[in-house]
Amino acid sequence: MQLTINGKARDFAVTQLTVAELVLQLNLEGKRLAIERNGEIVPRSQFANTLLAAGDQLEIVGAVGGG
């Protein structure tokens, strides 16, 4: 399955993938993230239920603390 993440094409050796599984594959678990799929924000509560499809466009942004 090919996804575009933050403007770069990435290939995954699976036919089905949820947003939660993608977060694990990208080693981003435990981080504060905002994920947009095809122009729509995916609520964190829906990560495990949101199936990705080949060709999806994703933007992943991590929260940065500071002052």
Q: What is the CATH number of the domain that holds 44?
A: 3.10.20.30
Domain that holds residue 21: 2-62
The tally of domains found in the chain comes to: 1
| The model's pTM | 0.90
What pLDDT is stored for residue 65 in this prediction?
73
What pLDDT is stored for residue 63 in this prediction?
80
Q: How far apart are the first and last CA of the chain?
A: 40
Write out the chain's pLDDT in tens, 67 residues. 999 999 999 999 999 999 999 999 999 999 999 999 999 999 999 999 999 999 999 999 988 777 6
What pLDDT is stored for residue 27 in this prediction?
96
Tell me how far apart the alpha carbons of residues 39 and 49 are, in angstroms, rounded to a whole number: 18
Residue 55 lies in a domain: yes
Residue 67 lies in a domain: no
